[in-house]
Structure 1
Amino acid sequence: MTDVHATGLKLPIASRRDTVRGLLATLRRRRGLVVLALLTLCAGVGAALAAPWIIGRMVDDIVAGGGSLLGSGLALAGSLTLGALLTWGGRVLLARLGQATVREVRESAFRTALAQPTARIEAAGTGDLVARLSGDVRAVGQVVEEALPAFLTALFGIALSLAGMGLLDWRFAVAALVAAPLQSFSLRWFLRRSAPVYRAHRVVVAERSQRTIEAVRGVDTVLALRTEEKHLERIAEASEEGIALEVRATQVRNDFNVFLNAAELLGLAAVLMVGYVLVTRGDVELGAASAAALYFLGLFGPMGTLLFRIDDLQDAGASLARLFGVIGMPSPQEREHVATPRRGAIDVHGLGFSHRPAQRDLDAVSLSAAPGEKIAVVGASGAGKTTLARVLAGALPVQEGLVRHDGVGIEDWHPHDLRDTVAMLSQEPHVFAGTVRDDLCLFSDADDDRLQLAIEQVGAGWILRLPDGLDTVIGEAGHPLTPGQAQHLALVRVALSEASVVILDEATAEAGSVDAALLDGAALAAIGARTGVVIAHRLSQAVTADRILVMRDGRVVQSGTHEGLAAMPGPYAELWAAWTRW
C-alpha cells in the first residue's frame, strides 16, 4: 500500500481507499463463506418479511368473511419461524467470517510490526502500536460481532421491504421514498462531522496509552524524581481530551437522531395518505394498504439500525485504517537463497549517527573484529556505547559510513539472516510468561538435553533447582526471579542461539556484588568461541577481553589490551585507577 500518511514519526494510517482495498483482498480469500453468509442472512430476512403480506391477506379475508384464517395463521407462523432460523444461521456464518478476517488482519499487523526496525517502533512510540494491536483490534471485533450483522440485516430488510411495497403497488414504494432525501442529507451531515471526531479520538487514546506505558515503565525514576503529579497531569490531559471528543460524538449522534425522526414522520404520513387515496378509489384492497403501512412501520427499526450502525462502522473504519497502516509498512521480502555459513567478522569504517540533528552520538567510528575475537567497549555514560551496539545489531540504521558483517554491508543483509547472525542482549532482558522451557525454546528448538547443556555451560544450575525445574512457571504471574536471575536466564538463551556474533549491552549491569562475578563468567561462557562485543558496565569485564575500545563523545579514543591501556596515560588508565580505588 502506497497511499499512507503519517505525522512526523508516528505510525502511518492507511487511506480510505487502501483500507477498503486491503479489506476486500482479505475477504476474497474467503469468498465462499462470504456468499453463503450473505445469502443465508438475506433469505432469513426475506422469509420474515413475508409476514406483513400474509397479514394483509388476512385483513382481506376478514373483510370477506374470514374463511381461511387458519391457513394464513399457519403460514404466518411458518414464515416467522423460518426467518428466525435462517437469520440465526446467517449471523453465525457472518460471525465466523468476521472473526477469521479480524484474526488475519491482527496477525498481519503484528507480523509487520515485528519486521520493522526497533528504532522505527520506538520513534513512533510503543503506546501507539499497543493501542492498535489491542484497542483497535478489540473495536473491530466488537463491530464484527454486533454491529455488522445488525447492519446487514437492516440493509436487507430495507431493500426487501421497499421491494414488497412496490409489488403491492408501485405508488407505495414512491411514497416511502419521500423520506429518502432527508435521510440522505442527514447521513452525509453525520458522516462529515463524525469521521474526524472518531479519527481524533483514536489518536488521543494511543497518546494516552503511550504516556501511561512510559510512566509505568519508568515508575522507579518517576518516584525518585518526584514527578508523579507531572505524569498524572499528562495522562489526565489526554483523558480529558478523549472525554471531550466522546461528548462531541454524542452531540453529533443526538442531532442525527432528530433528523431521522423527522424523516420517519414524513415517510409514514406519505404512505398513509397514498393508501387512503388508493383504497377510496378502489385501486387496492384494504389488506394491501395495511400491508404497505406495516412494511413502512417495519422500516423504522432497520432504518434506525442502519443509520446508527454506520456510527459503529465509522469507528471500526478508523481502527481498520490504523491497522492497515501498520500492515502497509515496508516489510522484508522472502529470502531468495539459503544463508551462507557465518564467520562473525565485523568491519566498521567512518560510522556516524545522530539521534538529534544538533548532537553527534557516533562520530567517525572505525573498528574491526576477527572471527572469535572478544572486544570490550568502555566509556562514561553518554559516550555512544549503546548506540554503537544497536547499529552493529541492525536495530539502528547506518547514517554515515559502512558496517559490514562477514564482508557484506549490513544494509544488504536480509533482516531475518541478520537476526540469525547477530544476537544482542540488553541491560533489561524480558522474562516471557510461561514455563522456563517455553522461555528458552522461544528462540531455539532445543530438546531437554541441549537445554541442560546450555544451562551448565553458563553456570545456571539454579534453574534446575526451581520448584518444578524446567516446568516452573515464570513471568509476572509465576515464580519470581531476581534481576540477576533474569539476566542469567537470558544468557542461557544467548548460549542456545546459533548467532556468530554476540553483543552484550551491559547485560549484567543489574547484578549485585554477589552475582557480578558469576554473571561476568556466564557472559563469557555464553559467547563461547563466537565473536563478542561487550558494552562493559564494570571494568572487570574488560580485563578478559582480547581488545578494549574506549569511547568518549561518540568517538573511539583508545584501542588496545587491558595491560597496554592501563600502563599508558589516558582515559582508560584514569577509569582503571578510579575503578581499583573504588
Structure 2
Amino acid sequence: MSHAGPADRALLPTATGAETLAALRALLRGHRLLAVTAVSVLVTGTGIGLLTAPLLGHVVDLVVEQKGSRALTVPLVLLVVVALARGAATAVGSALVARLGETVLAALRERFVERALHLPLERVEEAGSGDLVSRVTGDVSMIAKSVRQALPEFTRSAFTIVLTFVGLAVLDWRFLLAALLAMPVQVLAARWYLRRAAPVYAEHRVATGALQHQLLDSVGGVRTVRAFRLNGLHVDLVEQRSRTAVDLALRGIHVVTGFFSRLNLAEFIGLSGVLVTGFVLVENGSVSIGTATAAALYFHSLFNPVNAALFLLDDAQSAGASLARLVGVSDLAVPADTDGREVPVDGAVKVSSLDYAYVPGRPVLRDVDLEVAGGERIALVGASGAGKTTLAKLIAGVHRPSGGTITLGGADAGELGPAGMRRTVSLISQEIHVFAGPLADDLRLARPEASDDELRAALSKVDALSWVDALPDGLATVVGEGGHRLTVTQAQHLALARLVLADPPIAILDEATADAGSAGARLLETAALKALEGRTGLVVAHRLPQAATADRVVVLDGGRVVETGTHEELVTTGGRYAELWTAWSDSRPGIARRGNEDGD
C-alpha cells in the first residue's frame, strides 16, 4: 500500500488502484442478484426511452407526407406510453442501483470501523487523530454522496450512451460514423482530465486531513496553547494548512473548467457531422427526413448523458481517492485477539531500564526504573514535558518501549496479548467520549453482561448515582450526540464507573480531573480515590494536591525519575518536588495549609 502525506507524520495507509478494485469486487460478490436485477431494469428502461427519437422522426415523415391529423394519433399515444414506461423503469432501476451502493457502502463502513478499532493506539497517534477522523467523516461522506447521486446517474448515462450508438447504427451506419467524430476529442479530454485530476484530488484529501488534525490540535489544546503563548504559531499553522487545501481546491476547479470547454468542442464537432451526414443522405434519397431527424435527436440526446458521465468523473476521482483511503485501513490485518502466554498474578508494576523516543534520536524517557506494589497508589509528578503521560501510556500498552522492560503482575507486558492487556490495565485520560445512546449501554462498554443493579452499584461507588437518578429516564436516558448533554464532570464520572465495572488490577488516571474546574475536580478526585480502592493506581497528577494524598510520589524531570517518596518526605527533602510544591502553594495562598487536610 502506498503512503502519502506530510513528512512529519506516518499517515495511515492508502490503497493502490488494484487493491481498491479488488476490495470492491469482494464486496460486490455477495450481491450479484441485486446487481444483475438493477442492470436489467436500467437497460430495459433505457431501451424503451430510445424509441422516442424514431417515433418523432416518424411524426416528421407523416407531416411531410401530409397524412393528416388522424395519422398522428397512434405515434403520439406511443410517445406517452414510452415516456411513462421509461420513467417507471428508470425510477426502479435507479433505486436498485442506489440500494446496491448503500449495501456495499454499509459493508465497507463496518469493515473500516472494525479495523480502525483494532489499530494500535500508537499507530493512530503517529498518523495524527485528524487523519483517522477525516476518513471517518469526509471520506465516508464523499463516497455516500457518490453512491446516492453519482452512481445511479452514471449507470443510466452509460447505458444510454451505448444503446444510443446502437440506435444510430440501426438508422444508418453512416450516422454512427458521424457521431463518432466527437469521440477522439472526448477521449483526449478525459485523458487530459484524469491525468491532472487524480493527483489533485488525492493531495486535497491528504491536505484536508492535515487541516483537520491541526484544528483538533489547536482547539483541543487551547489551554496549553494559551498558557505557552503559542496563539500566533497555531494561527499560522492553521492558516498555512488552510491555504494549502484552498489552493488544491482551486486547482481542481481550474481542471474541471478546462475539461468542459473541451467537451463543448466535441459536441459541436459531432452534431455538425450528424447534420451534414443527414443532409447528404436525404439529398441522395438514402434516408427520409424523419430518419435524419431521429439521428439528430439521438445525437442531441447524448449531450446530457455524455456530459453527465464525463462530469461524474469529477465525483469518481474524489470518491476513488476517498475509497482508497478507506480500503487502505479496511485491508489492514486485524491482530489476533488472543490471550498471551503469561498471566498476571497481582497488580504489581515493575519498569526496568525503560527508554522511549517518539522521534529517533530524541528520547522522551531514559533509563527509567520504577516499582509499584500491588494495591499501592502513586502519583506521577513533573513539569510539562517531563515524560509523565508517556510513561503512563507505556505501562498501559499504548506505546511500545524503545528499550527496557515492563512487567505487570509478574508477567512481561509484551507477552500478555491485546486481551490480556485489556483485562490487566485500564487508562482513563481527560479526553472522555460519551457515546450516543442509552446511558446504560455506555456503561456496559466496560462489561457487556452487567445487570442494571451492577451498573447502579458502580455509579454509587463513584458518587454518580444521585445525578443519574435525576435524569429524565435514569439509566435509560439517551446521552451523547442528539441526546442529553452531560457535563465534563458527569462524563468523567461515567469513565470512573466504567473502570469499576471493568475491574482491572491496575488503573492509570492521566489528568482525568483536569478539565472539570475546581469544584468538579474536587468531586472527581474523591470519586477517583473510591474507584482505585482495591487496585494499583498510577495517577498523572495535574493538581499537586492529588500527589499529597497518594501513597507515594514519583517525580520525573527530563525523562528520568529524579525523586520518589511520600509527600511529606519530598517536601522536607527540599528537592525538585519541594520546588514544584512551593511554586504551586505561592500561586494559591493557603494551599499548603489546607493541602493535607482536605486535598484542595
TM-score range, shorter chain: 0.7 to 0.9
The sequence identity of aligned pairs, in percent, is 44
> What is the rounded CA distance, in whole Å, between the counterparts of 1:255 and 1:478 in structure 2?
47
1:556 aligns with 2:561: yes
Match of 2:177 in 1: 174
Flag the 1:158–1:477 CA change in 2: closer, same or farther, 3 A: closer
Moved more, 367-376 or 180-189: 367-376
1:362/1:384 contact within 8 Å kept:
yes
1:527 aligns to 2:532 (yes or no): yes
After superposition, where does 1:231-380 map in structure 2 within 5 Å?
Answer: 231-335=234-338, 343-369=346-372, 371-380=374-383
- Tell me the CA shift for residue 387 of structure 1: 1.0
Give, as a single letter, the amino acid of the residue that structure 2 aligns with 1:26: L
Deviation at 1:340, TM superposition (A): 6.6
Query: Following superposition of structure 1 onto structure 2, how do residues 16-165 of structure 1 map, counting pairs within 5 Å?
Result: 16-63=17-64, 66=67, 68-165=71-168
Which residue type is aligned with residue 280 of structure 2? V
Partner Cα distance (1:537, 1:226) in 2: 20
Report the count of equivalent residues. 581
Question: 1:482-497 to 2 correspondence within 5 Å?
Answer: 483-497=488-502
Give the equivalent residue in structure 1 for 2:210. Answer: 207
> What is the distance in 2 between the residues matched to 1:254 and 1:516?
57
Of the three residues 452, 455, 458, the one matched with 2:459 is 455
Determine the C-alpha separation between the residues in 1 that align with 2:209 and 2:563: 45
Q: CA deviation at 1:175?
A: 1.8
Q: CA deviation at 1:160?
A: 0.3
Deviations 1:45-76 (A, max 9, x none): 11101211223334444555637533333322
Q: CA separation in 2, counterparts of 1:235 and 1:6?
A: 16
Query: How far apart, CA to CA, are the structure 1 residues paired with 2:310 and 2:381?
Result: 65
Q: Which whole-Å CA distance do the structure 2 matches of 1:451 and 1:421 have between them?
A: 21
**In the TM superposition, what whole-angstrom CA distance separates every residue of 1:329-372 from its partner, at most 9, and x where no partner exists?**
44323548999787445443322101234432222223445554
TM-score (norm 2): 0.86
Write the letter of the residue equivalent to 1:506: E
Deviation at 1:304, TM superposition (A): 1.2
| CA pair 442-339 structure 1, distance change in 2 beyond 3 A | farther
Q: Give 5+ residue unaligned stretches, structure 1.
A: none
Contact 1:547 1:559 in 2 (8 A): yes
Query: Do the aligned residues in 2 keep the contact of 1:3 with 1:18 (CA within 8 Å)?
Result: no
Partner SS, residue 424 of structure 1: strand
Measured after TM superposition, the shift of residue 188 of structure 1 is 0.6
State the secondary structure of the residue aligned to 1:27: helix
Is the contact made by 1:342 and 1:500 (CA closer than 8 Å) also made in structure 2? Answer: no
Please state how far the C-alpha of 1:456 moved relative to its aligned partner.
Answer: 2.5
The answer to which of 185-194 and 364-373 deviates more is: 364-373
Change (3 A) 1:4 1:309: same
Change (3 A) 1:386 1:72: same
Q: Secondary structure at the match of 1:442?
A: coil
Q: CA RMSD in A?
A: 3.4
Post-superposition CA distance 1:420-447 (Å, at most 9, x none): 3321112443444555434423333333
Report the CA distance between 1:306 and its aligned residue.
1.4
Preserved CA contact (<8 Å) 2:496 2:528: yes
How many angstroms apart in 2 are the aligned matches of 1:514 and 1:193?
57
C-alpha distance in 1 between matches for 2:515 and 2:211: 30
* CA distance 1:169–1:387, change in 2 (3 Å): same
Which deviates more from structure 2 when the two are superposed, residues 370-379 or residues 438-447? 370-379
Is this contact kept in 2: 1:112–1:326, CA < 8 A? yes
Give the CA deviation at 1:155.
1.0
Distance 2:35 2:168 in 1: 28
Q: Mean alpha-carbon deviation: is it higher for 517-526 or for 162-171? A: 517-526
The Cα of 1:557 is off from its aligned counterpart by 4.2
Aligned-partner SS, 1:135? helix
Listed one character per residue, the Cα deviations across residues 390-430 of structure 1 (whole Å, up to 9, x for unaligned) are 01111112221222445554344443442233211124434
Q: Deviations over 1:221-251 (max 9, x none)?
A: 4455665555444434433433333333222
Residue of structure 2 in register with 1:183 after alignment: 186
CA contact (8 A) 2:349 2:371 kept: yes
What is aligned with 1:12?
13
Distance 1:79 1:416, change over 3 A: farther
* Counterpart code for 1:86: A
CA apart distance, 1:94 = 1.2
Deviation at 1:534, TM superposition (A): 2.9
Question: Does structure 1 retain, via aligned residues, the 8 Å contact 2:446–2:499?
Answer: no
Cα deviation, residue 514, structure 1: 5.7
Letter in 1 for 2:451: D
In 2, Cα distance between the equivalents of 1:483 and 1:216? 16
Q: Which stretch has the larger CA shift, 65-74 or 154-163? A: 65-74
Structure 2 CA distance for aligned equivalents of residues 297 and 486 of structure 1: 62
Q: How big is the shift at 1:266? A: 1.5
Distance, in Å, in 1 between the alignment partners of 2:271 and 2:515 is: 74
Given the superposition, is the C-alpha separation of residues 504 and 80 from structure 1 closer, same or farther in structure 2, using an over 3 Å criterion? Answer: same
Aligned equivalents of 2:521, 2:179: Cα separation in 1: 82
* Maintained 8 Å contact 2:2/2:14: no
Residue 561 of structure 2 aligns with an amino acid whose one-letter code is V
Residue identity matched to 1:507: A
CA 1:298–1:539: 2 relative to 1, 3 Å: closer
Q: Structure 2 CA distance, aligned partners of 1:76 and 1:511?
A: 71
TM-score, normalising length from structure 1?
Answer: 0.88
Shift of 1:277: 2.9
Compared with structure 1, are the counterparts of its residues 5 and 538 closer, same or farther at alpha carbon in structure 2 (3 Å cutoff)?
closer
Paired residue secondary structure (1:528):
coil
